[in-house]
Amino acid sequence: MLFVLAAASLTILLMGFVFLPALRGRKAEAVADEHAFDLTVYKQQLRELEADIERGAIPAAEADYARAEMGRRLLAAQDAVDASQNAAGKARQAGAPVLAAAAVFAPLATILVYTMTGSPGMDSQPLATRVAEMREQVAARDLQDMQITELVARAEAHLNQNPDDGRGWDVLAPMYLRLGRAADARNAFERSIAIQGESAARRSGLGQAYYMLAGGLVDANARVEFVRALEIDAGESRARFFMALAAAQSGDEAGALRAWQALVGDPNAAPEWQAAAAEGLRRFGAPATAATPGSPAPQLDAETMRDAEEMSAEDRSEMIAGMVAQLDAKLRDNPDDLAGWQRLIRSYLVLGRETDAREALERALAAFAQDEAKRDAVAQFAATLGLASGGEGQ
Amino acid sequence: MIVELGHYSLVLALILAILQTVVPFVGVKTGDDRQVAMAPNLAFAVFAALAFSFTVLTWAYVTSDFSLLNVVENSHSQKPMLYKITGVWGNHEGSMMLWVLILALFGALVALFGSNLPPSLRAMVISVQGLIATAFTGFILFTSNPFERLSPAPFEGNDLNPILQDVGLAIHPPLLYLGYVGFSICFSFAIAALIEGRIDAAWARWVRPWTLAAWIFLTAGIAMGSYWAYYELGWGGWWFWDPVENASFMPWLAGTALLHSALVMEKREALKVWTVLLAILAFSLSLLGTFLVRSGVLTSVHAFATDPTRGVVILGILVFFIGGALILFALRSSSLSNGGMFHPISREGGLVLNNLVLTTATATVFVGTLYPLAVEAVTGEKISVGAPYFDATFVPLMVPLLLAVPFGPLLAWKRGDIYGAAQRLYVFAGIALVAGLVTLWFATGAPVLAAFGIAIGFWLLFGSFAEVWQKSGLPKAGLSKAAARLSGMPRSVWGTAFAHAGLGVAVLGIVSVSAFQQERVLRMSPGDSTELAGYVISFDNVEAREGPNFTEDVATFVVYRDSDPIATIAPAKRLYTARGMPTTEAGIHTTGFSQVYVALGDPVEGTDQIVVRLWWKPQVTLIWLGPVLMMIGGLFSLSDRRLRIGAPTPSAKRRETLAAAE
Amino acid sequence: MTRKQKRTTVIFGALAMLGLAVALVLTALSDQVTFFRTPTELLAAPQENSGRIRLGGLVETGSVKNAETSGVEFAIEDANERVLVRYAGILPDLFREGQGVIAEGTLQTDGSFLADTVLAKHDETYMPKEVADRLKEQGYWQGEEVSATQ
C-alpha cells in the first residue's frame, strides 16, 4: 500500500511538473521571435569583430570584408524577424487533444509496463536488515522455547497432582515434541490415549515421537502409529507427511514425491505440514540441494522450514553442520543419551562424513560400556544403517 | 519498497521519454506554444526519474541487497565501499543505466542553458534527445533490467571482476560516457536543424560549446582509460589499438574534426553540410562504440559483459539512428545554401585540411577495427588487425597534419599568407630542428624516425604559441604593453594554443617511450639487483599481506642512483578470494616525467626466484599530460565569453502584437 | 583563382588524401593482418603460415616449464596436434594448464612457435572467441582471456 502511494505521488509529482507550462497557458511565455535569436548572435559577432579590429588583431582590408559579410547576415536576419512579425499573432492552441492523450497515456503505460517487468509486492532486503532479522528470529525462538519450558514445568506439576487429566496430557505432549523430549512425548501421548481413547492426532503425534526416538527414521513403531492415524482420519496431515517420508527412506522416492505433492495441493491440510512437504519436495526434486532422506530436524515446525527455505544450499549445509557439531559437543558432556547418539551417527552419515560416524559409534559403545541394552541398541541401529558391516554410508 | 520504487521510476522515465519525443515535436509542427514550452520540463522530469532510479540502484549496491540479481552477480558484502558504488557501472546493466542517465543529464542541461536558443530549435533538440533516451531506456528495461529480483535472496554475491576493482573504474567510464553521450547533443542539434531546414552561422555558434564540453570529457576519459590500462593490467603498454579503445577513439577524432569545422561555419557560414554530417558521424561512432562493447562481437579484454541477443537489439537501435539520420541528411542537405568562399590557403583551408586528415584517419581506424568482423562474416576466416596495421596507416596520415598545425592559427580568414606565416614560424622550426639533432647526438644509435618525431613534438609545443607570441608584440612592444595585450586577448586564442601544445607534449611522450624505453625480463631472488637505464634496482623481499577482499604477495624493490636509495617500489600479485582470480599490481616510481615500472610474474618452481619484468619508461607521463593540456585548452575556449550568448528580449513591437492577440 | 578553381583545389586535395589513405590501408591489410590458426591448421601448411600468426588452443597439461634463460616453454594443443611455444615475457595472470590460450608470433623453421604475446583467459565467463569456436568445431574445449604483451 505504501508502495502504491509512493509510486502514485512520484507519478503525480513528475507529471504535474511536466504539464505545468501547459496549464499555466502562454501568458507568461511572451517568447521572442525565432529569428530574433539569430539577430542576437550576429550582433554579438559584430561587436567581437569590432573589438578585434580595435586591438589590431585583424588587418584593415580583412576587417572590411568581415564587416560586410557580417552586415549581410544581420540584415537577412532582421528581414526574417520583420516578416514573421507581420505573420505573428494568431492564437495557437491546436494541441489540446495531444496534451489530453499524453496525460492519460503516461500513467497508464507506466503502470502497464511496470506490472510487466516489476515485482510490486517485493520488499527491499538490505543485507544488514536481513542479518538482524535472522538474529531476532533465533532470539524469538529461544524465548518461545523458554516460555514453553516454563509452561511444561507448570503442566508437569499439575499432572503430578492430577495424573488422570487427559486434556492435560494432550496439551503437554506436543510441547515435549517441540522441545525435542521424544521419550517424554511418547509417554505423554500414550497416557493421553489410555485416558481419552485414540484420535488421529494423538496417534500421529505418538508416531512422531517414535520417529524422533529413532533418530529421524520412520521405524516400524512409528509406522504402526501413522497407519493407525490414517485409518481414523485419512486426511491427517502429519501422518501423511511421515508416511511419505517413510516411503522416501525406504527408497520409493517417486511415491514420496507424489504423496507430498498431494499434501501441498490439499486445501484442507495443515499449513505447517504443507510447508514441511514443500521442503521435502525441494530436497528430493532438486538433487543439488538434497541433503538426503530423513534429514528434517526433529522439530519440524514451520519457522525452521521457512528459515531453511530462505537459505542458499551452502548456508543450509553450514547450518546443518553447525547443529551436528552442537549435538556432538552435547554428547561429550552428557553421553548417556541413546537417542542423541543415534541421531548423531545418522547425521554424520547423512552429511557423508563416514569416519566421523564410525568414531561416534565407537564413542557411543564406550559410553554404554556398562549398559548392555543400550549398547546393543546402538550397535543394532548402526547395523541397520550399514555402518557396522563397513558398507556404504547410506 | 525502495528498490521497486526505483524500478517504477525507471519505467516512468521510459514513458516520460516517449512524451519528451512526441510532445515537443508535435508542438513545433502544429505551432502549439504550450507543447513547445513543455519541452524543458520534460527533459528535467526524465532526468529526475532516471537519477532517482540510478540512486536506488546504487543504494541497493551499498546495502548489499542481494534480492537484486544484478547486485548478486556483481557485488559482495565484503567489498570496500568505494567499489560497491563503482561496481554499479562495472557491469552491463549498470553501465547502460549510467549511459542513459548521462544522456538525460545532457537533455536537462540543454533545457537549463538553452534560453539563448530559439524555442522551437530547443524543443526539437530535446525531442530528438528524447527519442534516443526512449530507445536506450527501453533497451535497459526489456533486455538488461538491473532491477530484476531474486527470491529467495542469497546471502552473498559473486563479487566484481577484480580487474575492475580500481579507482580507475570510478572515474574512467563516467568520463568516457560524458564524452560519448555528450555528442548526442550535437547529433540532436543536427537532426533538429535538418528537420527545421534552417542551418546557419548562429546554429554553429550554439552547437559549439556542447561539442567542446563533450570533447573535453572524452579526452579526459580516453587519457584516463589509457593510464588505467597502463598501471592496472601490468603489461606496461598505454595503448593497444584494442577494438574497444578504437571505439572511443573514433568519436574523439570525429569530434575533434567537428570542433574545427563548426568554427568555420560560425565565422564564415561555410562547410555547413559537412559540419552537419560530422555532427551525425561523431555520435554515430559513439553508438557504434556502445554496440561494439556491449554486444561482445569483438574479442577484447574489455568485453566484461557479453550477450548476443542484446547485441542484436543494440544493432537495431544503431541502424535506426545512424540510418535514419543519414537518410534525413541525404533528403535535406541539398536545401542548405552554400556559404562564404575562401582560398585554399587560408584559415578555412587549414581547417579543411584538419578535417580531411582527421576523417580519413577515423576511416582507417574504422576499417582496421571492423575488417576482422567483415572477413569473418564473409569468408569465415578468423583474423586480427593489431598495432602494426595502425602504425602503418594512422601514423603516416597524421604526420602532415601535425606539421601543419602551427600554421593554422596564423593564417587569415578567406585568404591567407603562407609565406608570412612561415616567416613568423621559422624560429620555432629552428628550435624543433635543434631538438631533433640533439636527440640524434645524445641517444646514440637512435633511429632517425625517433629524432624526426621529437622534432615534430617540439615544433608543435612551441609553434602553438606563435599566435600568442605574435599578438603580444614581443619583443618590440615591451613587457607592460605585451602583458596588457595578452590579458586582452580572447580566451579562445589561449585555448587553441594550449590544446595544440598539448598535442605536441603527447607526441613527445609517445615518441620517447616508443623509441627509448628499456625493458628487462629476468628471474630474481630476494637480494638480487639489476641495472636499468642508469639505476640499480634491488629486490629486497616478498611479504604476504591481507587486503579487505584479497590476499597479496607484495615484493619490495629499492631503486638506487649512484648507490643512494631514491625510491621503493612495491609491485604485488593479488588473489581475489571471492572469485579466486589473481591480478597483477604494477609498481611504479616516477622521476621527472619518466617512470620505472615493475611487474611481477610467477615464482619459479623449486627456487625462491620470481620472474620480474622491469621497464624504464622515459617521459612516459607526457603521454597523459598532453591530453591534460588539451583539456585545459578546451576549458579556456569554453570559458570564453564569446560562447555565451544572451537570449534576445522580445522587441517592443512584438510585445504589442502579442498583447493585441490576447 | 575563380570560385570553380578554388573548389576544384579542395576536391583534388580531398581525393589525394583519400587515395593515400586507401593505399596505406590496402598495403597494411595485406601485410599486417594476423591469421588465427589452431595447431592442426598450422602444421598442415607451415609454408603458408610463415607470417604473423595467432595460435590458439589449450595449454597442454604438464608442458609448462621454464626455459634455461628467462623465458618459458609450453605446448598448445588441439584435438590432433601440439605445437611447442617459446615465450620470453611474463605469462598472464590467468594462464593455466588445460585452459584456452592464444599465442601471437611466428612459426620457426624447427617447428616451434616463437610468441611475443600470450593471451589467456580473462575471467570465468570469457574465453577467446576464436578458440572457443574452433575447439567446439573439433568437439574439444573448455576455458576462456587476459592478455600480456611484451
* Whether residues C117 and C53 fall in one domain: yes
Please report which confidence band the pLDDT of residue B468 belongs to, taking 50, 70 and 90 as the band edges. Answer: confident
Residue B409 Cα, gap to closest chain C Cα (Å): 19
pLDDT at A87: 56
Does residue B651 surpass a pLDDT of 60? no
The pTM (predicted TM-score) of the whole model is 0.75
pLDDT of residue B643: 55
Crossing angle of helices A354-367 and A338-350, rounded to 10°: 170
Q: Would you place residue B185 in the very low, low, confident or very high pLDDT band (cuts 50, 70, 90)?
A: very high
Residue owning grid cell 619459479: B604
Of A11, A21, A58, nearest to B12 by CB-CB distance is: A11
Model confidence over C66-78: pLDDT tens digits?
766 667 888 888 8
Cross-chain Cβ contact B27/A127 below 8 Å: no
Mutate to test the interface with C, among B230, B299, B307, B381 (most CBs of C within 10 A): B299
Kindly report, residue by residue over B201-220, the tens digit of the pLDDT: 888 888 889 999 999 999 99
| Domain membership of residue C2 as a residue range | 1-33
Do C55 and C90 sit in the same domain of this protein?
yes
- Please name the chains neighbouring A, where neighbouring means 3+ C-beta pairs under 8 angstroms: B
Q: Is A81 within 8 Å of B651 when comparing Cβ atoms?
A: yes
Asked if pLDDT for residue B282 goes beyond 90, the answer is yes
Are B4 and A118 a contacting pair at CB < 8 A?
A: yes
Per-residue confidence at B229, pLDDT binned at 50, 70, 90? confident
Which pLDDT band, with edges at 50, 70 and 90, does B337 fall under? low
* pLDDT exceeds 50 at position B301: no
Chains A and C touch (3+ CB pairs under 8 A): no
% of chain A at pLDDT higher than 90: 6
Residues of B in contact with C18 (CB under 8 A): 360
Nearest to B202 among A38, A110, A125 (CB): A38
The alpha-carbon gap from A85 to the nearest alpha carbon of chain B, in Å, equals 7
Q: A339 with A183: CB under 8 angstroms?
A: yes
**Are C110 and C73 in the same domain?**
yes
Q: Which of residues 177-206 of B touch A (CB under 8 A)?
A: 200-202, 205-206
Residue A201 domain-assigned (yes or no): no
Cβ atoms of residues B133 and B121 within 8 Å: no
Spell out which residues of chain A touch residue B490, defining contact as CB-CB under 8 Å. Answer: 48, 52
Cα A269 to Cα A211, A243, A245, A246, A258: the distances in Å are 21, 15, 16, 19, 15
Q: Is residue C149 part of a domain?
A: no
| C150 inside domain | no
On the question of pLDDT at A215 being above 80, the answer is no
Contacting subunits of B (3+ beta carbon pairs below 8 A): A, C
Q: Is residue A278 part of a domain?
A: no
Query: Would the pLDDT of A149 be above 50?
Result: yes
**Band of the pLDDT at B338, cuts 50, 70, 90?**
low
Residue of chain B whose Cα is closest to the Cα of C68: B523
Residues C76, C127 share a domain:
yes
Q: Would you state the pLDDT for residue B302?
A: 40
Which residue among B388, B583, B613 places its CB closest to the CB of C89? B613
A51 located within any domain = yes
Q: Is residue A324 part of a domain?
A: yes
Size of interface A-B (CB pairs under 8 A): 242
With CB atoms and an 8 Å threshold, state whether B201 touches A45. yes
C94–B582: do the CB atoms touch at under 8 Å? yes
Q: Which of A19, A31, A128 sits opposite B38 (nearest CB)?
A: A19
Taking contacts as CB-CB distances below 8 angstroms, the residues of chain A near B37 are: 21-22, 26, 29
Tell me which of A146-155, A358-367, B79-88 is least confident.
A146-155
Mark yes or no for CB contact A37/B658 under 8 Å: no
Q: Are residues C49 and C96 in the same domain?
A: yes
Instruction: Read off the pLDDT of each residue in C107-128 and give the average, rounded to a whole number.
Output: 70
Three cell numbers written together for A333: 558432556
Contact C66 B384 (CB under 8 A): no
Contacts of C57 (CB under 8 A, 6+ apart): C38, C39, C76, C77, C78, C83, C100, C101, C131, C135
Question: Three-class SS of residue B523?
Answer: strand
Residue type, B653: K
Could you tell me which chains touch chain C, where touching means 3 or more CB pairs under 8 A? B
Answer for the pair B399, B361: CB distance below 8 angstroms, yes or no: no
DSSP A137-154: HHHHHHHHHHHHHHHHHH
Which pLDDT score is estimated for A299? 41
To the nearest whole Å, the CA of A137 is away from the closest chain B CA by 16
Tens digits of per-residue pLDDT, B611-638? Answer: 888 899 999 999 999 999 999 999 998 8
Predicted confidence (pLDDT) at residue B656 exceeds the cutoff of 50: no
- The answer to whether the Cβ–Cβ distance between C28 and B388 falls below 8 Å is yes
Q: What is the pLDDT of residue B661?
A: 43
Measure in Å the smallest separation between the Cα of B614 and chain C Cα atoms. 11
Quick check: A3 and B5 CB within 8 A? yes
Alpha-carbon Rg for chain A, nearest whole angstrom, is: 40
Which residue does chain C place closest to B518, by CA atoms? Answer: C150
Domain membership of residue A283 (yes or no) is no
Confidence class for position A301, pLDDT limits 50, 70, 90: very low
> Above 50 in pLDDT, residue B653?
no
By percentage, how much of chain A surpasses pLDDT 70? Answer: 80
Q: Is C74 a member of any domain?
A: yes
Q: What is the residue range of A335's domain?
A: 311-384
Q: Let me know whether C29 and C65 are in one domain.
A: no
Question: In this prediction, what percent of chain C has a pLDDT beyond 70?
Answer: 75
Question: Does the pLDDT of residue C123 top 70, yes or no?
Answer: no
B521/C contact by beta carbon, under 8 A:
yes
Clarify whether residues C29 and C97 are in a common domain. Answer: no
Q: Which of residues 45-84 of A touch B (CB under 8 A)?
A: 45, 48, 52, 55, 57-59, 62, 65-66, 69, 73, 77, 81
Q: Is the dihedral of CA B48, B51, B57, B60 positive or negative?
A: negative
Q: Is the pLDDT of residue A51 over 70?
A: yes
pLDDT value of residue B321: 92
Instruction: For residue C142, tell me if it sits in a domain.
Output: no
- On the question of pLDDT at B118 being above 80, the answer is yes
Would you place residue B449 in the very low, low, confident or very high pLDDT band (cuts 50, 70, 90)?
confident
Task: Write the pLDDT tens digit of every residue in C4-40.
Answer: 777 787 788 888 888 888 888 888 888 778 888 888 8
Considering the domain architecture, whether residues C73 and C87 belong to the same structural domain is answered as: yes
The mean pLDDT of B120-147, rounded to a whole number, is: 92
**Position B349 pLDDT exceeds 90:** no
- Residue A117 in this model has a pLDDT that exceeds 90: no
Task: Return d(Cα B96, Cα B293) in angstroms, integer.
Answer: 11
A150 domain-assigned: no
The predicted structure's pLDDT at residue B270: 81
- Whether A279 maps to a domain, the answer reads no
Tell me what pLDDT residue B212 has.
Answer: 93
pLDDT-based confidence at A95, cuts 50/70/90? low
**Which residues of B fall within a CB distance of 8 Å from C123?**
161, 163, 304, 579, 581
For B467, the closest chain A residue by CA position comes to: A57
Q: How do B572-576 and B581-585 pair as beta strands?
A: antiparallel
Of B9, B646, B660, the CB nearest to A40: B646
Number of neighbouring beta carbons within 10 Å of residue A286: 10
Q: What whole-number distance in Å separates Cα of residue B466 and Cα of residue B133?
A: 44
Q: Which residues of B387-419 are buried (b: 16+ CB within 10 A; e: fewer)?
A: bebbebbbbebbeebbeebbbbbbbbbbbbeee
Which of the two residues, B140 and B270, has the higher pLDDT score?
B140
B525 touches chain C (CB under 8 A): no
Q: CB distance B385–C17 less than 8 Å?
A: no
Average the pLDDT over each of A313-327, B148-162, B263-277 and give the range with the smallest value: A313-327
Confidence at residue B427, expressed as pLDDT on a 0 to 100 scale: 86
Of B27, B201, B651, the CB nearest to A36: B651
Burial category of A319 from C-beta neighbours within 10 Å (exposed 0-12, middle 13-18, buried 19 and up):
middle
Q: Which of residues 290-329 of A touch B (CB under 8 A)?
A: 309-312, 315
Domain check: are C79 and C13 in the same one? Answer: no
Mean per-residue pLDDT, A266-273: 81
Q: How confident is the model at residue B333 (pLDDT cuts 50, 70, 90)?
A: confident
Cell 553521450 locates to B181
pLDDT of residue B425: 86
pLDDT at residue A139 above 80?
A: no
Q: What is the DSSP letter of A385?
A: T
The strand ranges marked E within B480-569 are 518-524, 529-532, 535-546, 550-561, 564-569
Q: Taking CB atoms and an 8 Å cutoff, what residues of chain C touch B360?
A: 17-18, 20-21
**What is the residue-averaged pLDDT of chain B?**
85
Does A374 fall in a domain? yes
Q: Is the model's pLDDT at B254 over the cut of 90?
A: yes
Please state the domain count of chain A: 2
- The pLDDT mean for chain A works out to 76
Evaluate whether residue C120 is within a structural domain. Answer: yes
C53 with C73, same domain: the answer is: yes
Q: How far apart are CA C42 and CA C55, in angstroms?
A: 8
How many helices, marked H, and strands, marked E, lie in chain B?
Answer: 21, 11
Tell me which residues of chain B, numbers 577 to 606, contact chain C at a CB-CB cutoff of 8 Å: 579, 581-584, 599-602, 604-605
pLDDT for B506 equals 96
Which residue type sits at B222? I
Tally of structural domains, chain C: 2
Give the residue with greater pLDDT, B417 vs A239.
A239
Residues A321-371: tens digit of each pLDDT: 777 777 788 788 878 877 788 878 877 776 667 778 888 888 888 888 888
Could you tell me if B279 and B309 are in contact, meaning their C-beta atoms sit under 8 angstroms apart?
A: no
Mean of the pLDDT values across residues C85-104? 80
Average pLDDT over residues A109-122: 86
Percent of chain B with pLDDT over 90: 36
More confident position, B554 or A171:
B554
